[in-house]
Structure 1
Amino acid sequence: MNGFKTIAIFNYPHEIVVLKHILEQEEIHYFFENEHLVSVDPLASFAYGGIQLKVHPNDFEQVQEILDNLNPKLSIV
């Protein structure tokens, strides 16, 4: 999706389950790049660059706040 920017990177599919639910509740447009590749081959997550959360620039600050509240120690880009 053109114009979307990476805001966070996760290593394993189980790390994004709760976040997906929150983003859907807030009606935020997002997608996880490499989600399916990593779910098929989780040990190669680092080779694929991890699961990248991409959001529209208009939603960037709102998603950043959600990530901060969810886990202050997340690996934020």
Structure 2
Amino acid sequence: MTEFITIATFNFAHEVMVLKTILDREGIPYLFQNENLVSIDPFASLAYGGIQLKIHPNDIETVQTILDDLNNNLKIV
């Protein structure tokens, strides 16, 4: 895990649910740092730097494509 890098940061736990499903389906290893902490105390998100998506450097292009697709196509009202 020391080789993992942060590629994205989220403020709330509900923002990572769809992304987790996609990463699992694609078989990409990941870690959401601070996820449990922010789930318990959402107001602590800013103090701890949010929920950080950490991935292996070899997966940067694939995960960036997934993130771009979600940002362009996922509309949550």
Task: Tell me the TM-score normalised to structure 1 length.
Answer: 0.91
Show structure 1 runs of 5+ residues with no match: 73-77
Q: Take 2:54 and 2:44, find their aligned partners in 1: how far apart are those partners?
A: 20
SS in 1 for 2:3: coil
Partner of 1:29: 29
How far apart are 1:44 and its partner, in Å?
A: 1.1
Q: Deviations over 1:17-63 (max 9, x none)?
A: 00000000000010100001100110110001000000000011100
Q: Does 1:20 align with 2:20?
A: yes
Q: Take 2:59 and 2:21, find their aligned partners in 1: how far apart are those partners?
A: 16
CA root-mean-square deviation:
0.6
How far apart are 1:67 and its partner, in Å?
A: 0.2
Show structure 2 runs of 5+ residues with no match: 73-77
Of all paired residues, the percent bearing the same amino acid is: 65
Task: Tell me the TM-score normalised to structure 2 length.
Answer: 0.91
Q: How does 1:1-77 map to 2 (within 5 A)?
A: 1-72=1-72
User: What amino acid is the match of 1:21?
Assistant: T
